[in-house]
Amino acid sequence: MRSLILLVFAGVALACGDDHAHAARDGHVHDHSKREFPSAKLTPPSRPLTWGSLNILHTTDSHGWLLGHQKPSFPEPNYSGDFGDFASFVAHMKELAIKKDVDLLLVDSGDLHDGTGLSDGYPTGGVDAHASNEFFKQLPYDVLAIGNHELYIYNNTLDMYTNFAPRFNGRYLSSNVNITVDGVSKPVGSRFAKFKTRKGRAVTALGVLYDFTGNDQNTTVQKVEDMVKEAWFADAIKDEPDVFLLAGHMPVSRDNWPLVFNAVRAVHPLTPILILGGHTHIRDCLQLDGRSMSLESGRYMETIGWMSADLPEPKSHHRRHNGEDHSGHGNGGSGSSAAKNITFSRRYLDPNRVTFEYHTGQGNFSFDTPWGRSITKGLEQLAKKFDLTFQYGTAPHDFTINHCYADCTDCEQYARGLDKIMITNSGSMRFDIYSGPFTKNDQLTASPFADTFLYIPNVPFAVANAVLPALNGAGADNRKRDNAVEAELWARGYVGTRYREWMEDMARRDAELGAESRRAAANLTLGYVTQDSCPGVGDDIPHTPLEFHAIPDFIASASPAGLADDAPVDLVFVDFIETQLIGILNGLSTDGKTYTTADVSKYTDVLATEMLGIYAQQAWN
Burial of residue 566 (CB within 10 Å: 0-12, 13-18, 19+) is exposed
DSSP classification of residue 351: -
Does one domain contain both 341 and 451?
no
Give yes or no for residue 18 having a pLDDT over 90: no
Residues 381-403: pLDDT tens digits? 999 999 999 999 999 999 998 88
Domain of 84 in residue numbering reads as 51-381
Residues 100-119, mean pLDDT to the nearest whole number: 98
The CA distance from 614 to 621, in Å, is: 11
- Find the range with the poorest average confidence among 10-24, 423-437, 501-515: 10-24
Does one domain contain both 467 and 335?
no
Does one domain contain both 370 and 437?
no
The CA distance from 90 to 309, in Å, is: 18
Q: Identify the pLDDT of residue 553.
A: 83
Task: Provide the pLDDT confidence category of residue 5 given band limits of 50, 70 and 90.
Answer: low
Residues 211-221, mean pLDDT to the nearest whole number: 98
End-to-end CA separation in angstroms for the chain: 19
What is the rounded radius of gyration, in angstroms, for the C-alpha atoms of the chain?
A: 25
Which comes out higher in pLDDT, residue 278 or 479? 278
With CA atoms as reference, report the closest residue to 275 among 174, 229, 207, 189: 207
- Find the range with the poorest average confidence among 11-20, 25-34, 385-394: 25-34
Q: Identify the pLDDT of residue 519.
A: 57
Whole-prediction pTM value? 0.89
- Domain-located, residue 134: yes
The CA distance from 160 to 188, in Å, is: 7
Burial of residue 319 (CB within 10 Å: 0-12, 13-18, 19+) is middle
Q: What is the DSSP string of 127-152?
A: -TTHHHHHHHTTS--SEEE--GGGSS
The CA distance from 86 to 68, in Å, is: 10
Q: Identify the pLDDT of residue 399.
A: 92
Q: Identify the pLDDT of residue 307.
A: 98
Give yes or no for residue 22 having a pLDDT over 50: no
For the chain, give me the number of helices (H) and strands (E)?
20, 25
Q: Identify the pLDDT of residue 497.
A: 86
- Domain-located, residue 326: yes
Q: Identify the pLDDT of residue 4.
A: 65
The CA distance from 576 to 424, in Å, is: 8
- Domain-located, residue 37: no
Q: Identify the pLDDT of residue 196.
A: 98
Does one domain contain both 575 and 610?
yes
Residues 509-536: pLDDT tens digits? 988 887 556 656 668 999 999 999 999 9
Helix (H, G, I), strand (E, B) or coil at 550: coil
- Domain-located, residue 508: no
Domain boundary among 356, 381, 406: 381
501 Cβ contact partners less than 8 Å away, ≥ 6 residues apart: none
Report the 10 Å Cβ neighbour count for 299.
Answer: 24
Half-sphere exposure (Cβ direction) of 237: Cα atoms closer than 13 Å: 28
169 Cβ contact partners less than 8 Å away, ≥ 6 residues apart: none
Q: Identify the pLDDT of residue 520.
A: 64
Give yes or no for residue 35 having a pLDDT over 90: no
Domain boundary among 381, 415, 434: 381
- Find the range with the poorest average confidence among 38-42, 72-76, 388-392, 544-548: 38-42
DSSP classification of residue 413: H
- Give percent of the chain above pLDDT 90: 75
Q: Identify the pLDDT of residue 552.
A: 84
Helix (H, G, I), strand (E, B) or coil at 356: helix
Give the dihedral of Cα atoms 36, 40, 44, 45; nearest 10 deg.
-100
Helices (H), 74-212: 83-100, 117-120, 130-136, 154-159
Task: Provide the pLDDT confidence category of residue 205 given band limits of 50, 70 and 90.
Answer: very high
Mean pLDDT of the chain: 89
CATH at 347: 3.60.21.10
Helix (H, G, I), strand (E, B) or coil at 248: strand
From edge to edge, which strands make up the β-sheet containing 177-181?
Answer: 184-187, 177-181, 219-221
The domain tally of the chain equals 2
Domain boundary among 381, 407, 440: 381
Task: Provide the pLDDT confidence category of residue 319 given band limits of 50, 70 and 90.
Answer: low
Q: What is the DSSP string of 371-408?
A: HHHHHHHHHHHHHHHTTTTEEEEEESS-EESSSS-S--
Residues 3-13, mean pLDDT to the nearest whole number: 64
CATH at 457: 3.90.780.10
Q: Identify the pLDDT of residue 16.
A: 54
- Domain-located, residue 276: yes
How far, in Å, are 339, 394, 424, 483, 584 from residue 9 at the CA level? 59, 18, 9, 26, 21
CB contact burial 433-467 (16+ within 10 A = b; e otherwise): bbbbbbbbbbbbbbbbbbbbbbbbeebbbebbbbb
Q: Identify the pLDDT of residue 274.
A: 98
Residues 529-540: pLDDT tens digits? 999 999 999 999
Give yes or no for residue 406 having a pLDDT over 80: no
Which comes out higher in pLDDT, residue 23 or 308? 308
Helix (H, G, I), strand (E, B) or coil at 539: strand
- Angle at the Cα of 201 (from 199 to 167), degrees rounded to 5? 85
Give yes or no for residue 92 having a pLDDT over 50: yes
Does one domain contain both 310 and 436?
no
Does one domain contain both 332 and 443?
no
Helix (H, G, I), strand (E, B) or coil at 28: strand
Give yes or no for residue 327 having a pLDDT over 50: no
- Domain-located, residue 168: yes
Does one domain contain both 316 and 451?
no
The CA distance from 571 to 552, in Å, is: 19
Does one domain contain both 160 and 22?
no
Task: Provide the pLDDT confidence category of residue 570 given band limits of 50, 70 and 90.
Answer: very high
- Angle at the Cα of 446 (from 442 to 449), degrees rounded to 5? 115
Q: Identify the pLDDT of residue 1.
A: 47
Residues 440-464, mean pLDDT to the nearest whole number: 95
With CA atoms as reference, report the closest residue to 67 among 5, 136, 13: 136
- Domain-located, residue 527: no
Q: Identify the pLDDT of residue 513.
A: 82
The rounded Cα 43 to chain-centroid distance in angstroms is: 25
Does one domain contain both 413 and 358?
no
Q: Please, are residues 3 and 408 in contact by the beta-carbon 8 Å criterion? A: yes
Does one domain contain both 10 and 67?
no
- Domain-located, residue 397: yes
The CA distance from 101 to 89, in Å, is: 18
Task: Provide the pLDDT confidence category of residue 21 given band limits of 50, 70 and 90.
Answer: very low
Residues 265-269, mean pLDDT to the nearest whole number: 98
Does one domain contain both 476 and 614?
yes
Q: Please, are residues 307 and 58 in contact by the beta-carbon 8 Å criterion? A: yes
- Give percent of the chain above pLDDT 70: 85
435 Cβ contact partners less than 8 Å away, ≥ 6 residues apart: 73, 395, 396, 397, 398
- Find the range with the poorest average confidence among 102-116, 172-186, 511-525, 597-611: 511-525
Does one domain contain both 308 and 329?
yes
